[in-house]
């Protein structure tokens, strides 16, 4: 999914934004740093009142029921408290809204980043929550029904963090909720494109292109449609083309990564793809070591085998890659630095 972040401000703000792009992170602030002071206005007293009524009604029943209600109140209080601890990264589903350019990109003196949302969250996906902002005329109310819902935690967190007044619906906002505020690092390939505002200076455009060279980022200049308020865009050439890829390296392959001997005979014709996939994975920018390459027998058919690899990103953190034979062939064909003996060793393994 494509999502967008508008950036703009004075010299210090631009320097900060440039640094975050260079170092591959976004900053998620606490709730009280957001620009709408009405944010987070959630009516929760009703939950505690309802739980108190239940508590009173169960006063003559087993103590375990009362203990359960007390635990529920405590858990709900903890959930509310997470709002103040969490970080929030606000994004939009559009990059062509004139109000967003005016409000968040310094009246077109700034720029807009296009992210791939899945890639942006890949490193810490299990720890992030992602919500579409709900726009409504009244503050949300959380009651007992919410905390007993099938997906209670997500529904409550969304009401606590991602509800705004209807007046803001033009923003088409989507939010990443992080466990805490601060720097959140991502795979640099999450940044797909940069859109430059109508008034952005040539100097700043050059600085961004130079900072992001070697990363395959596309660049566009925003423009006004003729006789219209609508915004459009035009592709720009990268002013700093280079053959040197950012974060390019070739990582080691663990000794026991590929075990072709135990591959069932019916899959034997696909053995070379195990070695091809290993070569692809070891060139992944964040790969420290390839630890497993095998055939995914649970998802494969004889005519459409699926291969997967596991590699270490950082200590105790691993990423998985799954590819079809066509995808392997496509990516393998792009490799230009294979050892000259590779084909003779593995092409007919």
Q: State pLDDT tens for residues 254-284.
A: 888 998 888 888 898 999 999 999 999 999 9
pTM of the predicted model, to two decimals?
0.85
Helix axes 202-211, 11-23, angle to 10 degrees: 20
Pairing outcome for strands 218-224 and 191-196: parallel
Judged by phi (left if over 0) then psi (alpha if -120 to 50, else beta), residue 139 lies in: beta
Interatomic CA distance for residues 261 and 275, integer angstroms: 13
Dump pLDDT digits (tens) for 134-193. Answer: 999 988 877 666 665 556 678 878 888 888 999 999 999 999 999 999 999 999 999 999
Most confident option among 43-47, 56-60, 68-72, 229-233? 229-233
Query: What's the average model confidence in pLDDT over 239-257?
Result: 92
Question: 54 falls in which pLDDT band (50, 70, 90)?
Answer: very low
Which tokens belong to 316?
A: 């105790």
The 3-state DSSP class for residue 16 equals helix
What is the structure's pLDDT at 275?
94
Could you tell me how many residues make up the chain?
349
CB neighbour list of residue 284: distance below 8 Å, 6 or more residues apart = 251, 311, 319, 321
Question: 316 falls in which pLDDT band (50, 70, 90)?
Answer: confident
């Amino acid at each position: 999914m494509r999502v967008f972040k508008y950036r703009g401000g004075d010299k210090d703000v631009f320097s900060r934004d440039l640094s975050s792009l260079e170092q591959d992170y976004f900053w998620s602030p606490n709730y009280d740093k957001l620009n709408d002071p009405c944010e987070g206005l959630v009516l929760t007293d009703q939950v505690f009142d309802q739980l108190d009524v239940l508590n009173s009604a169960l006063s003559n029943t087993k103590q375990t029921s009362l203990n359960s209600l007390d635990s529920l109140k405590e858990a709900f209080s903890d959930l509310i408290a997470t709002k103040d601890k969490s970080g929030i990264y606000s994004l939009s589903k559009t990059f062509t809204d004139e109000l967003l350019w005016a409000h968040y990109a310094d009246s077109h003196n700034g720029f807009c980043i296009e992210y791939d949302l899945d890639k942006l969250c890949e490193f810490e996906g299990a720890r992030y929550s992602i919500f579409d902002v709900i726009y409504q005329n009244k503050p949300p109310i959380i009651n007992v029904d919410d905390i007993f819902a099938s997906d209670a935690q997500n529904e409550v967190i969304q009401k606590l963090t991602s509800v705004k007044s209807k007046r803001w619906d033009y923003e088409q906002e989507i939010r990443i909720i992080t466990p805490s505020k601060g720097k959140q690092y991502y795979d640099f390939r999450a940044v797909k494109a940069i859109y430059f505002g109508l008034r952005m200076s040539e100097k700043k455009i050059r600085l961004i292109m130079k900072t992001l060279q070697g990363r395959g980022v596309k660049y566009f200049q925003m423009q006004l449609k003729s006789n219209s308020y609508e915004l459009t865009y035009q592709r720009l050439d990268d002013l700093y083309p280079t053959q040197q890829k950012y974060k390019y390296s070739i990582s080691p392959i663990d000794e026991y990564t590929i075990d072709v001997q135990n591959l069932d005979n019916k899959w034997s014709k696909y053995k070379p793809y195990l070695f091809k996939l290993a070569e692809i994975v070891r060139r992944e920018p964040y790969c420290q070591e390839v630890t497993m390459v095998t055939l995914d027998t649970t998802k494969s058919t004889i005519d459409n085998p699926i291969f997967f690899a596991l590699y270490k990103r950082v200590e105790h953190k691993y990423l998985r890659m799954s590819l079809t034979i066509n995808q392997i062939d496509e990516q393998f064909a792009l490799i230009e630095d294979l050892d000259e003996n590779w084909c003779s060793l593995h092409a007919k393994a």
